A = this chain, B = another copy of it.
Amino acid sequence: MGRKTGSHSEITGPRVREAALRLIAQHGFAAVSMRQIAAEVGIQAGALYNYTPDKQSLLFDLMQSHMHELLEAREASRTRGDPLEQLEAFVRFHIRFHLPRQRAVFVSYMELRNLAPDNFSKIEQLRTCYEGELQGILDEGHRLGDFEISDSKITTLAIIAMLTGICNWYREDGRLSAAEIEADYWTLVRKSVGIDAAEPMRHRRAV
């Protein structure tokens, strides 16, 4: 017993987070034990506590990192342009960011209820912040008469649910490439907020 040869926190730390993300995505937070995570990394359970104060913080850190990465990537990929261009950029960004991160997305959505109240609030706030990006585009598009939208909040949630749902079935070796999926979903979104010849709508203000 004692320190193992070749052990370094810069190596073990990321491996702990990767193992935790993988196992939690697969079995769920509550179903995964610290001993399982440790075994995956090849250490004893006690050593995990060099990398997280407790199990709850481990989950929170994974989710917070994911949300921060998301917001930073969105920030970096912001573009100028009319609302339609911005909407397209948002849709394509969302898909490109989420598809390679299916496990993190899974965990960030499914394990919300396993967060302590304080941690839940923080994650929820980050999520709201991201949704605000899309809602801002929709509002602006509606203001300029480019979009036809009955309720920008509902439309925001509908679009995000639709896009994020891709993570539940996409497989890298599946029938469709990421580019095809991107194109199809952009078409769906574009049409759903487009000017509708069939039946004009009236706008409802958010309360």
Q: Which of the segments A36-44, A71-79, A197-205 contacts the partner chain?
A: A197-205
**Contact of A187 (CB < 8 Å), options: B26, B113, B161, B201:** B201
Q: Report if A1 contacts B (CB, 8 A).
A: no
Complex: A162 Cα to B207 Cα, angstroms: 22
**Contact of A110 (CB < 8 Å), options: B27, B110, B185:** B110
Q: Is the CB of A187 within 8 A of B207?
A: no
**Contact of A154 (CB < 8 Å), options: B114, B176, B206:** B176
Q: Which residues of B contact A151 (CB under 8 A)?
A: 176, 180, 184
Q: Is the CB of A165 within 8 A of B158?
A: yes
Q: Is the CB of A28 within 8 A of B191?
A: no
Q: Report A92 CB to chain B, min CB distance, Å.
A: 15
Q: Is the CB of B201 within 8 A of A192?
A: no
Q: Which residues of B contact A207 (CB under 8 A)?
A: 175
Q: Report A37 CB to chain B, min CB distance, Å.
A: 15
Complex: A188 Cα to B156 Cα, angstroms: 11
Complex: A187 Cα to B195 Cα, angstroms: 12
Q: Is the CB of B181 within 8 A of A190?
A: no
Complex: A29 Cα to B194 Cα, angstroms: 42
Knowing A192-B192, A194-B196, A201-B187, the reply to whether A168 touches B161 (Cβ < 8 A) is: yes
Q: Report A84 CB to chain B, min CB distance, Å.
A: 9
Q: Report A95 CB to chain B, min CB distance, Å.
A: 12
Q: Is the CB of B154 within 8 A of A184?
A: yes
Among residues of B, the one whose C-beta sits closest to the C-beta of A162 is B162
